[in-house]
Amino acid sequence: MVDKNQQVIDKTLDQEYKYGFSTDIEETKFEPGLNEDVIKKLSKIKKEPQWLLDWRLKAFDNWKNMSEPTWAKIKYEPIDYQALSYYAAPKQIKNDSLDDVDPEIIETYNKLGISLNEQKRMQGVAVDAVFDSVSIATTFKKELSKHGIIFCSFSEAVQDHPELVKKYLGSVIPATDNYFAALNSAVFSDGSFVYIPKGVKCPMELSTYFRINATNTGQFERTLIVADEGSHVSYLEGCTAPMRDENQLHAACVELVAHKDSTIKYSTIQNWYSGDKEGKGGIYNFVTKRGICLGDNSKISWTQVETGSAVTWKYPSVIMQGDNSVGEFYSVAVTKNKQQADTGTKMIHIGKNTKSTIITKGISAGEGQNTYRGGVKILKNAENAQNFSQCDSILIGDKCGAHTFPYIDVNNPSAKMEHEATTSSIGEDQLFYCNQRGIKLDDAVSMIVNGFCKEVFEELPMEFAVEAKQLIEVTLENSVG
Amino acid sequence: MIKIENLKASIDDKDILKGINLDIPAGEVHVIMGRNGSGKSTLANVIAGNETYEVDGGNITMEDTDITEMSIENRALEGIFLCFQYPVAIPGVSMAYFLRSALNAHRKYQGKEEMDALEFLNKAKAILSELGLDDSFLKRSINDGFSGGEKKKSEILQLLTIDPKLAVLDETDSGLDVDALRTVAKGVNKFKNENNSVLIITHYQRLLDYIKPDVVHLMIDGQIVKTGDMSLVEKVEKDGYSWLEK
């Protein structure tokens, strides 16, 4: 049985990555290398105000004196930051009409299942499509603007809403926060910007779809979402990249600001190319995501389904500053082949009666290494703070690993903390049971894994819960025998 | 229905089944009794194709099809259903989802159309009410946090929904109170007809007070040593098994 398992595991690892094609289009691309001139050039293309260029340069100055973090349980070839290009954009620049977008790019998104044509779009989902370093199109902008909602590319926001960008940019993740955040602050090229005005409940799901296409480039996008008092928004990001032999760097920053009585729900389905069976190629995913519950009774909820990338380094966090504010983190992380994921969250309780929930599901197959790293910090004045953490891991095969590093720091005796962790294997007895009922092995595995992930999938918006389930099924096809 | 000839099986090089011969025609209920460790449960598992056991010889035929080498799911689809002694829990997977997947796998194999959610629900609810189970049972995760009685009732629910050709009950009666035992028996009686067969593996007479077997086999050390009628069960209840030993 064990030998047979191994055979089928090996078979899985040969699975083709469905989104691995590349698009052949003319792109404007910077020569590899990073220095002040590159940043100035980038800022100039973007017609940025002086304050933003200064902010970038300051971040760059800091970055030069910082060193890459080494505490994560991941191993990778050193990144040569001078060998990367920091800007790549299709020659045809974005315009108001889709007619002006290169048909090749529209076709690329169609192939990815993302239609940029509003009529054909999944109902109730607006999308901002980011291709390499620039935003290509944003759908439903007019419809959203009727509600006073701003949903546009970051570059447009800088032009059209500089006061909002200036107020909130770096307010949650300072430019000097960490090595990758500093790099992003210096060179970020585009991303999405969302502002939900007071009392508005966003009538549709907002989403950004990131696609890395160009070779030897880094993608450094920046997302900023501000929910004003009493507002509500649900946002989703998806990501894919072509199969390339060299590793590509993706270092993004996402900042969320939730004012009094507002709610931000942020979901990610991350399916970057993860490299081949030998671990060659794949995306290095170093991402800083953080939200602040600024006002009382506000809520930020992160849900992530991470199946891609060669290396993932990511800890979406919530700072609960307002009283009664709520932070949530739901995560499914799958590693197979030689993928490595070091992911988790940080929950920082500052306000009174703040409450956080962490539910993570790690799935390791092949030679994948899956690490949960989470920090819960209760500050001195956070009366009656509560945290519940549950970290479960499942192992498929005998060459993979699951690791859990919870850090808890409590400075107020009224805090209530609960932590649960389990590690299990998909049992032969569970598979036998399913098979005996006539259910095929592949279906049994996906059924068991989906059951294991249920609590997290339930947090995803309906349309994407189905997508996530299918993604897990495809990812784990033939992983047990 | 099922014919087993000179079946030998082992686990970790330890011989468990040492030449089993068994023939259960359609429409009959057979019982196998025997001491702990005599190989009864092994037989049930080997019939179902559990790969933990090594088949060392002999063959199993299901309605003229040799299934000795067949995969677990194909045997199941050919009509073998095992009521597990210890049904395993699968957290997060609802009974409804699981059971409908299982049922539709069978229907597909039989060339029938798959059953939609509503049709399935109606079918399952009818069976549930006969077993005295609440509809909410379908929403629970498979065997997760079930009591001993609920686990066995869940097996019977699955048996009646899938409606196989051969039901193998592996000590389904152990650990049940009288009410649960009656429910299980009621389910099995509802299942059996002249076109299917039942193999009951048990230690006790009490289930057989409710389900009348046609043939009783006594098993000792991996072999069937005596075959007869209900009177054998009474003798075993009274005298145990030592009188069978050479």
Q: Among partner residues A439, A454, A455, which is closest to B101 by beta-carbon distance?
A: A439
Spatial contact of A431 and A402, defined as CB atoms under 8 Å apart? no
Contact yes or no for B100/B149 (Cβ under 8 A):
no
Q: Tell me the residues of chain B between 26 and 55 that have a Cβ less than 8 Å away from chain A.
A: 48-52
Q: Is residue A134 within 8 Å of residue A190, measured between CB atoms?
A: yes
Supply the pLDDT for residue B246.
Answer: 62
- The minimal CB distance from A448 to the residues B73, B84, B93 is found for B93
User: Does the distance separating the beta carbons of B82 and A453 come in below 8 Å?
Assistant: no
Radius of gyration of chain B (CA): 18
With beta carbons under 8 A apart, name residues in chain A contacting B163.
none
- Tell me the CATH architecture of domain B2-245: 3-Layer(aba) Sandwich (3.40)
* CA atoms of A273 and A248, how far apart (whole Å): 9
Rounded distance between C-alpha atoms, residue A160 and residue A165, angstroms: 10
In this prediction, residue A354 carries a pLDDT of: 97
Q: Residue holding tokens 């850090």?
A: A407
Q: Does B118 touch chain A (CB under 8 A)?
A: no
Spatial CB neighbours of A115, under 8 Å, sequence gap ≥ 6? A109, A121
For residue B51, give every residue at least 6 positions away whose Cβ sits within 8 Å of its Cβ, in sequence order, or none. A1, A432, B72
Residue pair A217/A250 in contact by the 8 Å Cβ criterion: no
With an 8 Å Cβ cutoff, is B91 touching chain A?
yes
Chain B hits for A432, CB-CB cut-off 8 Å, are 48, 50-51, 72
Q: What is the pLDDT of residue B205?
A: 86
Q: Which residues of B touch A437 (CB under 8 A)?
A: 76, 98, 101-102, 105, 158, 162
**Which residues of chain A lie closer than 8 angstroms to B102, CB-CB?**
437-439
Whole-number Å distance between alpha carbons of A43 and A54: 10
Q: Which of A285, A130, A118 has its CA nearest to residue A192?
A: A130
**Got the DSSP string for B83-124?**
E-SSPPPEEEEEHHHHHHHHHHHHHHHTTPPPPPHHHHHHHH
Which residues numbered 57-76 in B keep a CB inside 8 Å of some CB on A? 71-73, 76
Structure tokens at A419: 């932590």
For the beta carbon of residue A105, count every other beta carbon within 10 angstroms: 20
Nearest CA in chain B to A441: B73
The secondary structure element, H or E, covering residue A42 is helix A36-45
Please list every residue in chain A whose beta carbon sits closer than 8 Å to the beta carbon of residue B76: 435-438
Nearest-CA distance from B77 to chain A in Å? 5
Cβ proximity of A86 and A218 under 8 Å? yes
Cβ within 8 Å, pair B141-A451? yes
The model carries a pTM of 0.82
Q: Which uninterrupted H or E stretch holds B24?
A: strand B14-24
Q: How far, in Å, are A67, A130, A150, A303 from residue A196 at the CA level?
A: 37, 21, 7, 20
ipTM of this predicted complex? 0.96
Provide DSSP, A426-468: --HHHHHHHHHTT--HHHHHHHHHHHHHHHHHTTS-HHHHHHH
Whether A432 and B50 lie within 8 Å, measured CB to CB: yes
Query: What single letter denotes the amino acid at residue B216?
Result: V
What's residue A396's pLDDT?
A: 85
Q: Which ranges in A32-120 belong to alpha helices (H)? A: 36-45, 50-64, 103-111
CA Rg value for chain A: 22
Whether residues B97 and A447 touch (CB distance < 8 A) is answered with yes
Q: Looking at the DSSP assignment, which residues form a beta bridge with residue A64?
A: none
Inter-chain residue contact A436 with B82, CB threshold 8 Å: yes
HSE value, Cβ hemisphere, 13 Å, CA-based, for A193: 22
Furthest C-alpha separation in chain A: 68
Residue B92 zone, left/alpha/beta (φ > 0; ψ -120 to 50; rest): left
Q: What is the pLDDT of residue A2?
A: 39
Rounded CA gap, A411 and A428, in Å? 45
Q: Determine the residue of chain A that is closest to B108 in CA distance.
A: A438
Strand order of the β-sheet with B80-83 is: B80-83, B166-170, B197-202, B29-34, B215-220, B223-228
| Phi, psi for A283 (deg, rounded to 5) | -90, 140
Q: Strand B141-142 and strand B166-170: pairing?
A: unpaired
CB contact under 8 A, A436 and B48: yes
Q: With contacts defined as CB-CB under 8 Å, which chain B residues touch A438?
A: 73, 76-77, 102, 105-106, 109, 162
What is the model's pLDDT at position A244? 64
A1 interaction partners in chain B (CB closer than 8 Å): 51-52
CB-CB: which of A432, A440, A454 is closest to B92?
A: A454
B159: nearest CA partner in chain A:
A437
Q: Which of B72, B75, B106 should we substitute to test contact with A (largest number of A Cβ atoms within 10 Å)?
A: B72
Residue type, A222: R
Bridge partners of A311, per DSSP, are A284, A340
Q: What share of chain B is helix, strand, coil (3-state, %, to 5)?
A: 40, 30, 30
Name residues of chain B where pLDDT drops below 70.
246
Return the pLDDT at A457.
84
Helix, strand, coil fractions of chain A, as percent rounded to 5? 25, 35, 40
Question: A342 φ, ψ to 5°?
Answer: -120, 100
Contact A236/A195 with Cβ under 8 angstroms? no
Closest chain A residue by Cα to residue B47: A436
Check CB contact under 8 Å for B76 and A454: no
Looking at A65-120, list the stretches that DSSP marks H as alpha helix, in order from N- to C-terminal side. 103-111
Q: Judge: B92–A437 Cβ closer than 8 Å, yes or no.
A: no
Distances (CA, A) of A243 to A21, A89, A110, A289, A472: 7, 19, 18, 25, 19
Walking along chain A (481 residues) 10 residues at a time, the average pLDDT comes out as 43 56 73 90 92 95 92 88 83 58 70 62 65 70 89 91 96 94 92 94 85 73 95 86 72 96 92 78 89 97 88 94 97 87 94 96 87 94 95 86 91 94 84 95 87 85 72 68 44
Where do the structural domains in chain B lie, given as residue ranges? Answer: 2-245
Task: Give me the residues paired with residue B87 across strands.
Answer: none
Q: CA A102 → CA A26, A38, A211, B54, distances in Å?
A: 10, 26, 15, 62
- Judging contacts by C-beta atoms under 8 Å, the chain A residues touching residue B70 are none
Q: Do B73 and A438 touch (CB under 8 A)?
A: yes
Q: Tell me which chain A residues have a C-beta less than 8 angstroms from the C-beta of B87.
A: 433
Q: Determine contact: B220 vs chain A, CB below 8 A.
A: no
For residue A8, what pLDDT is reported?
Answer: 43
